[in-house]
Amino acid sequence: MSISLLNKVVLITGASSGIGRASAVEFAKQGAKLILVARRKNRLDGLAKELKSQYETESLTIQLDVSDKDAVESQLNNLPVEWKDVDILVNNAGLALTTDKIQEGNIDNWDIMIDTNIKGLLYVTRQLITGMVNRNSGHIINIGSIAGQEAYPCGNVYAATKHAVRAINQSLRMDLLGSAIRISEIAPGAVETEFSEVRWNDKDKADAFYSDFSPLVAEDIADAVIYCATRPLHVDVAQITLYPTAQASATQLHRGKSLIQNIANPPTLARKE
């Protein structure tokens, strides 16, 4: 049993790469209209063009740094009238920067993670939630992490931001109780996207990280996003945690080719640009 997403207006932050991009593709397949948000506008425009030709998708692309409070307010307050009523918000934009001990941490990196993963998510949510409340309809899907459920060595500030996402998710559900608005959190383990390359600013190190186990791919998370969005309106999927089969916690990865060879149909790797 599922509901239709045809002509629903879906705003996805961080749609230029990885999980956000894959989610945009899946929503496009369902006939949704997409507001694609990220800093790299050329990528968003390329995606919009691709989705138009493949699925006849109508898209609006917005270059926006979600950590820029004033820009979020002005851009999202001034959406063209046909895009104003956002039905589904996917708060996906986020990043980790380095894996350092706190005592060796770079404070500028902490600020960027906090400003993007926590404050950016809140700024975007605040702009769109009033309309959802007024219409008594809407769905906010937040991309958290297993790092929101456990801390791990050198994951300190990133894990703190994802714990915050989890807390915000729980609070949203409580604050909106009595409305028809749904709140979901998806918490992935290791997903092969540009995430690790951004984290370490080192593509070889990122490639090596994923090289000897079968990580999740962005489409696995997009699949969960669509699952949440297509449940009947009386069902609110509160939280989904997704691990690669080869992972049991943030620090426990079964590395080695044997498990991969035992999987009959290994997933295709997420597209990278």
Point out which residues pair with 36 in neighbouring strands.
12, 61
Q: In whole angstroms, how close is the CB of 159 to ligand 8X3 at the nearest point?
A: 7
- 98 close to 18: Cβ distance less than 8 angstroms: no
Instruction: Indicate which of ligand 8X3, ligand NDP, none lies near residue 250 (CB less than 5 to 8 Å, by partner kind).
Output: ligand 8X3
In the complex with ligand 8X3, the residue whose CB is nearer, 13 or 127, is 13
59 binds ligand NDP (CB under 6 A): no
65 binds ligand NDP (CB under 6 A): yes
Q: In whole angstroms, how close is the CB of 238 to ligand NDP at the nearest point?
A: 17
Q: Is 32 helix (H, G, I), strand (E, B) or coil?
A: coil
Among 3, 7, 40, 106, binds ligand NDP (CB under 6 A): 40
Q: Which residues are catalytic?
A: 158, 162
Q: In whole angstroms, how close is the CB of 163 to ligand 8X3 at the nearest point?
A: 11
Stretch that binds ligand NDP, among 25-33, 61-69, 73-81, 127-135 (CB under 6 A): 61-69
- In whole angstroms, what is the distance from residue 171 CA to residue 27 CA? 26
150 binds ligand NDP (CB under 6 A): no
Token digits of residue 229: 């969005």
Per-residue contact flags (x/-) with ligand NDP for residues 109 to 148, judged by CB under 6 A: -------x---x----------------------x-x---
Work out the angle between the directed axes of helices 69-77 and 121-135 (0-180°, nearest 10): 30
95 binds ligand NDP (CB under 6 A): yes
169 binds ligand NDP (CB under 6 A): no
- In whole angstroms, what is the distance from residue 41 CA to residue 44 CA? 5
Token digits of residue 36: 């694609």
Where is 252: in which H helix or E strand? strand 252-253
- In whole angstroms, what is the distance from residue 14 CA to residue 231 CA? 24
- In whole angstroms, what is the distance from residue 210 CA to residue 191 CA? 9
Q: What are the Cα distances from residue 199, in Å, to 10, 34, 154, 185, 205?
A: 28, 28, 12, 22, 10
Among 66, 97, 157, 164, binds ligand NDP (CB under 6 A): 66
Q: Is 12 helix (H, G, I), strand (E, B) or coil?
A: strand
In the complex with ligand 8X3, the residue whose CB is nearer, 54 or 249, is 249
- 242 close to 186: Cβ distance less than 8 angstroms: yes
| Footprint of ligand 8X3 (CB under 6 A) | 145-147, 155, 190, 250
Neighbours of 253 (CB within 10 A): 18
Among 19, 132, 141, 250, binds ligand NDP (CB under 6 A): 19
What residue number has its CB nearest to ligand 8X3?
145
Among 194, 210, 220, 244, binds ligand NDP (CB under 6 A): 194
Among 23, 30, 92, 247, binds ligand NDP (CB under 6 A): 92
Instruction: Indicate which of ligand NDP, ligand 8X3, none lies near residue 253 (CB less than 5 to 8 Å, by partner kind).
Output: none
Q: In whole angstroms, how close is the CB of 190 to ligand 8X3 at the nearest point?
A: 6
Which residue matches tokens 């089969």? 245
Which residue matches tokens 């790092």? 147
